[in-house]
Structure 1
Amino acid sequence: MRIVLLQSANMNLMDITKIFSLLQPDKEEEDTDTGEKQALNQAVYNNDSYALDQLLCQERYKRFINSRSGWGVPGTPLRLAASYGHLSCLQVLLAHGADVDSLDVKAQTPLFTAVSHGHLDCVRVLLEAGACPGGSIYNNCSPVLTAARDGAVAILQELLGHGADANVKAKLPVWASNIASCSGPLYLAAVYGHLDCFRLLLIHGADPNYNCTDQRLLARVPRPRTLLEICLHHNCDPEYIQLLIDFGANIYLPSLPLDLNSQDDKGTALLLQARATPRSLLSQARLVIRRALHQASQPQAIDQLDIPPVLISYLKHQL
């Protein structure tokens, strides 16, 4: 099977060799009758967790628990269970020691597959079993990017709650720098109209000045587009603009000509108003506290601060 990979700017020959070594089947598996693997996959396909458990109690079947097989995108039984949302089979496989972060031929983990198919319960079980919330480092995409694009706010909450990076970027080659400047979870949530995901990402530390603080990107793209500019360009609802302002976006970065005639647009009017009105001391204090906690990797410490509950709610943008 031919595998096409996009080489990122940071990917070297060792990375590519590692990918192919991970994805190549063992020689012993190639020379072995596939009946055991087919039996495992059939039990998962039928959502027959009892039969699957009985098979895995036998060593001749259990030795293939992490083997990739099947048509289309060959994967492990765990990937198959994640793609169909067969939760009981997923739990049986994990109980018998299935590799929670096993890769298919596209370097996607079972968690990525569960996210792509919108199976929230499977996502929760995989994360609780120790699945990496960021997916595989050898895949160009990530579960967070997929959830933000699809508007899967409950899945996104699970991923971010288990430590996924709210500022993750797609891995793209140098020649695709312009594409890289129009990617990222916040960008996807905005252009696809998923306001709840957009707000959730900001609460979990997504950079409201995305594209304008990444020095590696700035070195390749002379004038990247800010999120404010992107939201205005795509005529996003004013709530997106207000959220970016509230979370500390640099309101002077957009290069759009904001003249008086633009005030008919509600988003532009909000930006012009923010430029004309100094940010309140309370708002500035919230930004400083949240930024300090995120830099210390302690965003959950907001709930532990010795301040009135109403101020905690304000810090968490619940007011």
Structure 2
Amino acid sequence: MSLMDISKIFSLLQPKEHEEEDTNCSQELNQAVFKDDDKLLTDLVSQDRYRRCVNLRSGWGVPVTPLRTAASQGHLRCLELLLAHGAEVDSLDVKAQTPLFTAVAGKHLDCVVALLKAGADPNGSPYNNCSPVFTAAREGDVDILRELLQHRADVDVKPKIPDWASNAMACRGPLYISACYGHLECFKLLLQHGANPDYNCTEEKMLSRIKQPKTVLEMCLRYDCGPQYIQLLVDFGANVYQPTVIADKTTRQNEAVLLLLKERVCPKTLMSQARLSLWKFLPMENKMCCIDCLDIPKILKDYLNHVS
């Protein structure tokens, strides 16, 4: 390769004048957001050349948009300002993470609320291996989880693994994760919004590829999550006959196991059966909201919603 050819290649790699200017503008926007300087940001986005760059990525290492920076840092005023000036609410970074996902991961509730109101997809990106609901359930962020579920996030979102790698992990969704990490309020909230009390993964094709799919009830017993988790699963209609309870030297006959054995021999009350029947009749999405719309006394709504 001649020296002339090499020079030509390098000249092609050099950014055009307007591209370099746009990159500088994007960097200035990101710096203003990172410093949470909403006054400077207001001044910048009032200019056409900066508004044109509001969705450009910049920065060392992992280039990000200004909106992603605002969401990850929890800078609400800057985030709202960017949204008002045309920032794409579901723009992706190189990890396929949306601004909503980074706000959830950073535990910034106010930013989560603002992004959802602006139309952000509560399920995040289908190209990311994780999801906002998974993250909130794992971290025990019940307020953030409630916002996501109220905006119709998938309550039974499954782990994103290839079909050929299907194993017991495919049944471990948000409900299972919240139990493993000891987040009882998140566990109950997921059930209240329609989480399947038997399997986190309800896709028959996926379940058929797993030799021994484990129910949430069985996993709660195995990892000694406590009687509160077992009682909630029973109240929400989990099949109490699916888990195998082995009484031998290694099995601790704790309160949770005794509760399960009692449920196997004692029939449910008529009120419990009526609640379960109505619960299954309601649509999967936002069951609590559907119950709140019923023309019945509040005490009955609370009972149907499992609110004590």
Give yes or no for TM over 0.5.
yes
Which of the residues 78, 94, 97 maps onto 2:83? Answer: 94
Aligned pair 1:79/2:64, yes or no?
no
Structure 1 unaligned spans of 5+: 1-26
State whether structure 2 residue 158 is matched by structure 1 residue 169.
Answer: yes
Q: Deviations over 1:96-122 (max 9, x none)?
A: 110011110111100000000100010
Match of 1:294 among 265, 273, 283: 283
Partner residue, 1:228: 217
In structure 1, the residue matched to 2:98 is 109
Work out the number of aligned pairs and report it. 293
Kindly tell me: are residues 270 and 203 of structure 1, through their superposed partners in 2, closer, same or farther at Cα, counting changes over 3 Å? Answer: same
Relative distance call for 1:48 and 1:167 in structure 2 (3 A) is same
Q: 1:32 aligns with which of 9, 20, 28?
A: 20
Question: Of 110, 123, 127, which residue of structure 2 is paired with 1:134?
Answer: 123
Q: Contact between 2:68 and 2:99, CA under 8 Å: does it hold in 1?
A: yes
- Of residues 213-222 and 159-168 in structure 1, the stretch that sits farther from structure 2 once superposed is 213-222
**Hey, what's the Cα distance between the residues in 2 that align with 1:68 and 1:170?**
28
Structure 2 length-normalised TM: 0.89
Task: Pick closer, same or farther for the CA change 1:306–1:37 going to 2, 3 Å.
Answer: closer
| Stretch deviating more after TM superposition (292-301 or 121-130) | 292-301
- 2 CA distance for matches of 1:309 and 1:297? 18
Paired residue type of 2:231: Q
1:264 counterpart SS class: coil
Q: Measure, in 1, the Cα distance between the counterparts of 2:270 and 2:240.
A: 17
Measure the CA separation in 2 of the matches of 1:155 and 1:265: 33
Larger-Rg structure: 2
Identity %: 57
Alpha-carbon shift at residue 252 of structure 1 (Å): 0.8
The unaligned stretches of length 5 or more in structure 2 are 1-14
CA RMSD of superposed structures (Å): 2.1
Q: Which amino acid aligns with 1:230?
A: M
Deviation of the 1:255 alpha carbon = 2.5
Distance (Å, rounded) in 1 between the aligned partners of 2:299 and 2:116: 32
Give the equivalent residue in structure 2 for 1:205.
194
Q: Which residue of 1 aligns with 2:208?
A: 219
1:9 equivalent in structure 2: none
Q: CA deviation at 1:173?
A: 1.0
**What displacement does 1:293 show?**
1.2
- Cα distance in 1 for residues equivalent to 2:88 and 2:19: 22
